[in-house]
Chain A
Amino acid sequence: MTRYLIRRLLQGIPLLLIISFILFLLMMNMGDPVATMGGRRVTRSVDYERLKRQLGLDKPLIVQYVYWLIGNDWTKVDMNGDGIAEVPGTRKGVLRGDFGTSLVNRGVPVMQVIGERVPNTLILMLSGEVIVILGALVIGVFSALRQYSLLDHVVTALSFIGYSMPIFFVALLLMFIFAVLFKRWGLPYMPTVGMFDPQVGKTFGQVLYHTVLPVISMSIVSLASYSRYIRSTMLDVLNQDYIRTARSKGLPRRSVIFIHALKNASLPIATIVGLDLPFLLGGAVVTERIFAWPGMGRLFLDHVSRADTPVVMGILMIVAVAVIVFQILTDIVYAWLDPRIRFD
């Protein structure tokens, strides 16, 4: 097991290098970060050249990548434009934990820019995941126990619809029903924008109130596919011999279903949840945009549109690392849940 884990971790390193290089190449052609820096236009061409030089954007691509990766404090850089490198560089590079500073928010470290947004995205993702897992367990087990009943067919149809819905359409529908129509009908209605009402302040109740619609819109797609999945694993398990044994020796139906069957049926779900979790971030981009939620997804969109390479690379690398870490964690959890699995 330990050897397997070490191997997986070592495999992750070249993978991250490939990912970072591909993304860096793509980012370099995204437009001119200096042109829109800090919301001001740089008009004088002398200033423009100076800024590019000071930010290191005049260097060849491969040099920029190396500086980004391992920093430039081991060499000297040219700051005043006389062609002679005289000032030692200050960047430490990603490998030593320095993701550089944002180009849009001048001089603010990337990790600080991202760090401010991460908790907000985690609020959405984690509460979404809890709803998805609980909801999918209830729906999946229920329709497996009543296979081919009317309810099962209805659930199947609904889950196909849910699975085919674009997140933004779910979000717009929910907003229209629970904010616009409810308001029109004089019912208590839900907020559609932001994380809290600025007049009330960022209290727990306010944030909770503002989370409801974004979390539901993010969850529906996963809820639909997970509940299908649980239904099919549950059906598989229910047909196995040991379930018949448990039934025939007179165990109560409740304990057969929830202890003997569900425990084994939920094994594969642990894998799916672990592998999907980091990918919820993709859904967060759209949800955060619609609900004006100040999270990582919106940060990504805002900074991509202004070619802020350090921040965008920072976000993408965090996601890539999260995906790899969760893959390994999932393997560990799975081996722990299912003693038949051995990594040798």
Chain B
Amino acid sequence: MDSTPSIIANLSPDDLETPPLSLSELARRRFQRHKPAIFGLIVLGLLVLYALLGPLVFSENYSNFNDTSERLQAPSAAHLFGTDSIGRDVLARTIYGGQISLMIGLTAVIVETLLGILVGALAGYYGGVIDSILMRITEAMLNIPELFLLIVMAKYFGGKLPEVVVFGRTFSGSVIVIVLIIGLTSWMYLARIVRAQFLSLKENEFVLAARATGTSNFGIIFRHILPNSVAPIVVSATLGVANAILSEAYISFLGLGVQPPTATWGNMLDGANNYLESAPWLWFFPGMLILLTVLSINFLGDGLRDALDPRGRVQ
């Protein structure tokens, strides 16, 4: 018992103090404690592997190859997920459809984030007339349910773009249309978040200091204020990917999205309710893949919010 004080007395002050954790270390620990987020990350990784490694087994031509004598075959050893109404292999199509759906999700969010940051930053930083105009437009867009806007825009741009070739693969122009319209109809919430961030951050001393040293408005917006509001943007963009994949699924399900033969998880479901009874595998597999993807992205986004932006939870 009496030796304890001497051990402590012999320790230098540095040994007594644990080194403070860095912000990123704290965030990483919070993220790792969030079990659903880890689950989401793993499932999402598997889904990406599924879409990226699948082409080693099936060629794209095979996924678009239709053999009408093999139409509406139930799942079997030859066709694990069965065949669709014109005899294409559903498994191969979910692989190539997955590539397109995931790509649409990611690129649409890039469009959404750029627009949202631009509108939010300009409105929040400059205030006044610019703020009023931009926020009225934002409100106007928020006043129409997203799906209605998507349908109207899909009809507006539908069939106007030619096919494009990227990485030696041909995509129907409708892929780009879908990416654009999903981006154009979903930036509003992010713009509001960014605007709110800018409104409070621009009152800080470091902005005053930057201005005093002659930094341009552009520099203040993008180099000084924006990096400070990255956390809510990352969280919102992550959840935005889930939303974009859902939007693509809805609009393609209604037959206004990506046009065949290019497969997406959404357009594989178009018309599947005609085969509700006779061929449930037509809608079950793509539907499950959409559900799994959206679910794991939502878990991931929830974990990121806890890790990066703990105050963002309070609604």
Q: How far is the CB of A85 from chain B (nearest CB, A)?
A: 30
State A325–B127 Cα separation when bound (angstroms).
27
The answer to the question of B277 belonging to the interface, with a C-beta cut-off of 8 Å to chain A, is: yes
A169 touches B276 (CB 8 A): no
Q: Which of B145, B146, B156, B254 gathers most chain A CB within 10 Å?
A: B145
A301 touches B254 (CB 8 A): yes
B272 touches A172 (CB 8 A): yes
**Which chain B residues lie closer than 8 Å to A180 at the CB level?**
276-277, 280
Q: Hey, what's the 0/1 contact readout for A106-148 against B, CB within 8 Å counting as 1? A: 0000000000000000000000000000000000000000000
A286 touches B147 (CB 8 A): yes
Interface members, chain A 153-212 (any B CB < 8 Å): 157, 160-161, 163-169, 171-173, 175-176, 179-180, 192
The answer to the question of A90 belonging to the interface, with a C-beta cut-off of 8 Å to chain B, is: no
Q: A232-B315, A286-B254 are in contact. Are A175 and B276 (CB under 8 A)?
A: yes
Q: Which of B85-93, B217-225, B288-296 lies at the binding interface? A: B288-296
- Choose from A165, A283, A289 the contact partner of B291 (Cβ within 8 Å): A165
Q: A160-B36, A320-B143 are in contact. Are A285 and B294 (CB under 8 A)?
A: no
The answer to the question of A324 belonging to the interface, with a C-beta cut-off of 8 Å to chain B, is: yes
> In chain B, what residue has the closest Cβ to A317?
B144
The answer to the question of A335 belonging to the interface, with a C-beta cut-off of 8 Å to chain B, is: no
State A305–B137 Cα separation when bound (angstroms).
26
A15 touches B269 (CB 8 A): no
Q: How far is the CB of B139 from chain A (nearest CB, A)?
A: 6
**Which chain A residues lie closer than 8 Å to B250 at the CB level?**
166-168, 286
> In chain A, what residue has the closest Cβ to B280?
A176
Q: A163-B298, A165-B291, A172-B283 are in contact. Are A19 and B140 (CB under 8 A)?
A: yes
> In chain A, what residue has the closest Cβ to B273?
A290
**Which chain B residues lie closer than 8 Å to A163 at the CB level?**
298
**Which chain B residues lie closer than 8 Å to A175 at the CB level?**
273, 276
State A327–B64 Cα separation when bound (angstroms).
48
- Choose from B155, B249, B298 the contact partner of A305 (Cβ within 8 Å): B155
State A168–B269 Cα separation when bound (angstroms).
9
> In chain A, what residue has the closest Cβ to B36?
A160
Q: Hey, what's the 0/1 contact readout for B258-279 against A, CB within 8 Å counting as 1? A: 0000000000010011001100
A304 touches B152 (CB 8 A): yes
**Which chain B residues lie closer than 8 Å to A30 at the CB level?**
152, 155-156
Q: Hey, what's the 0/1 contact readout for A267-309 against B, CB within 8 Å counting as 1? A: 0100000000011011101100110000000001100110100
A281 touches B143 (CB 8 A): no
> In chain B, what residue has the closest Cβ to A327?
B143
State A278–B216 Cα separation when bound (angstroms).
44
The answer to the question of B153 belonging to the interface, with a C-beta cut-off of 8 Å to chain A, is: yes
The answer to the question of B171 belonging to the interface, with a C-beta cut-off of 8 Å to chain A, is: no
**Which chain A residues lie closer than 8 Å to B242 at the CB level?**
164
**Which chain A residues lie closer than 8 Å to B276 at the CB level?**
172, 175-176, 179-180, 192
Q: Which of B140, B143, B276, B294 gathers most chain A CB within 10 Å?
A: B143
Q: A164-B242, A176-B280, A323-B143 are in contact. Are A285 and B151 (CB under 8 A)?
A: yes
The answer to the question of A243 belonging to the interface, with a C-beta cut-off of 8 Å to chain B, is: no
> In chain B, what residue has the closest Cβ to A192?
B276
State A192–B315 Cα separation when bound (angstroms).
38
State A283–B143 Cα separation when bound (angstroms).
15
B153 touches A26 (CB 8 A): yes
B287 touches A26 (CB 8 A): no
**Which chain B residues lie closer than 8 Å to A167 at the CB level?**
250
A282 touches B36 (CB 8 A): no
B151 touches A304 (CB 8 A): yes
> In chain B, what residue has the closest Cβ to A307?
B155
**Which chain A residues lie closer than 8 Å to B253 at the CB level?**
166, 168, 286
B144 touches A18 (CB 8 A): no
The answer to the question of B125 belonging to the interface, with a C-beta cut-off of 8 Å to chain A, is: no
The answer to the question of A312 belonging to the interface, with a C-beta cut-off of 8 Å to chain B, is: yes
B143 touches A324 (CB 8 A): yes
Q: Which of A161, A169, A316 gathers most chain B CB within 10 Å?
A: A169
**Which chain A residues lie closer than 8 Å to B280 at the CB level?**
176, 180
**Which chain B residues lie closer than 8 Å to A329 at the CB level?**
none
Q: How far is the CB of B181 from chain A (nearest CB, A)?
A: 10
State A219–B293 Cα separation when bound (angstroms).
21
B137 touches A282 (CB 8 A): no
The answer to the question of A27 belonging to the interface, with a C-beta cut-off of 8 Å to chain B, is: yes
B291 touches A164 (CB 8 A): yes
**B interface residues with partner A (beta carbon < 8 Å):** 36, 136-137, 139-140, 143-148, 151-153, 155-156, 242, 246, 249-250, 253-254, 269, 272-273, 276-277, 280, 283, 287, 290-291, 294-295, 298-299, 315
14 contacts between A and B (CB under 8 A): A19-B140, A22-B140, A26-B153, A30-B155, A166-B294, A168-B287, A172-B273, A172-B276, A172-B287, A282-B146, A289-B254, A316-B144, A316-B148, A319-B144
Q: For the complex of A and B, list the 5 residue pairs with the smallest distance between their C-beta atoms, beginning with the closest.
A: A282-B145, A282-B147, A164-B295, A169-B287, A164-B294
